[in-house]
Amino acid sequence: MVAPTGARRGKADHPALPITLDEIMAEARACREAGADGLHLHLRDAEGRHLLDAGAYREALAAFEAAMPGFFVQITTEAAGRYRADHQRRVALESGARAVSVSIAEMTVGEAARAAPAFYVTCHEAGIAVQHILYDPAELDLLARILPAGLFRDPALQLICVLGRYTGAAGSDPAAIAGFTAAFARHGIAPDWALCAFGPQETACLRAAMRLGGKARVGFENSLWNADGSLAASNAERVRDVMAAALC
């Protein structure tokens, strides 16, 4: 999966970072040709700010289906400091998306925790595939408490494990993947898991994850650099870099 935009970076960070829907769609086509199987979609408002809006997502998803039929598109529900959990839940349920990424930490802030179990059950019943974001291995314990046991232990449980942060000067370390896989083993689950990683070590981290049976999410949302330390020209170049690493 390619994550070409994210919620925070802009043209000042990289002139090829796609902001408008037309730019994102053009980048998605290039990334599909480079080997990406799907898109992690972030939208921006007229000022370029992170946008969670069910109507805007419906329009974007319809545009993708018309232009790239069958291409997998997952929407984000990331708060990015702008949205509350109740708004995030509504967007997930009302956007028409068949796939969403959701942070268990964001869904359980304060009073939101009481609504979280019903939200996940509603998504399941509606056929909305939720990929649960884990920023730390300990968040798997939280997910186990919130999800019904049947959903938590389902082999189709989707997780995306996050290595590093936007503000982390050192970026990500492939060795940190062990904390997540150990958490899977501790809970006795074998989920459908993926990894995203920040900084120049993105390719190395994704290569390590794929060797352990995980999937990869790559793109300018998380890193602008290729494995050799060079600044990537585009998201498609990052996809090709990771594809090459996977074959090594």
pLDDT of residue 247: 82
**199's tokens:** 């900084």
Residue 175 lies in a domain: yes
Residue 194 lies in a domain: yes
Residues 36 and 168: their CA atoms lie apart, in Å, by 26
**Pairing mode, if any, of strands 43-44 and 50-51?**
antiparallel
- Tell me, what CATH number does 33's domain have? 3.20.20.70
Q: How many structural domains are present in the chain?
A: 1
- The rounded Cα 40 to chain-centroid distance in angstroms is 6
**Cβ count near 200 (within 10 Å):** 19
- Under DSSP, is residue 50 helix (H, G, I), strand (E, B) or coil? strand
Residue 12 lies in a domain: no
Residue 156 lies in a domain: yes
**pLDDT digit string, tens, across residues 19-49:** 999 999 999 999 999 999 999 999 999 999 9
CA of 226: how far to CAs of 100, 117, 218, 223, 241, in Å? 27, 39, 11, 8, 6
Average pLDDT of the chain is 96
Q: How buried is residue 246: exposed, middle or buried, by Cβ count under 10 Å (0-12/13-18/19+)?
A: middle
Q: How confident is the model at residue 167 (pLDDT cuts 50, 70, 90)?
A: low
**pLDDT digit string, tens, across residues 58-106:** 999 999 999 999 999 999 999 999 999 999 999 999 999 999 999 999 9
Q: How buried is residue 52: exposed, middle or buried, by Cβ count under 10 Å (0-12/13-18/19+)?
A: buried
pLDDT of residue 166: 66
Whether the pLDDT of residue 222 is over 90: the answer is yes
- What is the arithmetic mean of pLDDT over 1-10? 97
pLDDT of residue 164: 87
Residues 164 and 168: their CA atoms lie apart, in Å, by 6
Residue 14 lies in a domain: no
Q: What is the pTM of this model?
A: 0.96
Q: Which domain holds residue 39?
A: 21-246
Q: Which amino acid is at 216?
A: A
First CA to last CA distance, the chain: 19
Residue 11 lies in a domain: no
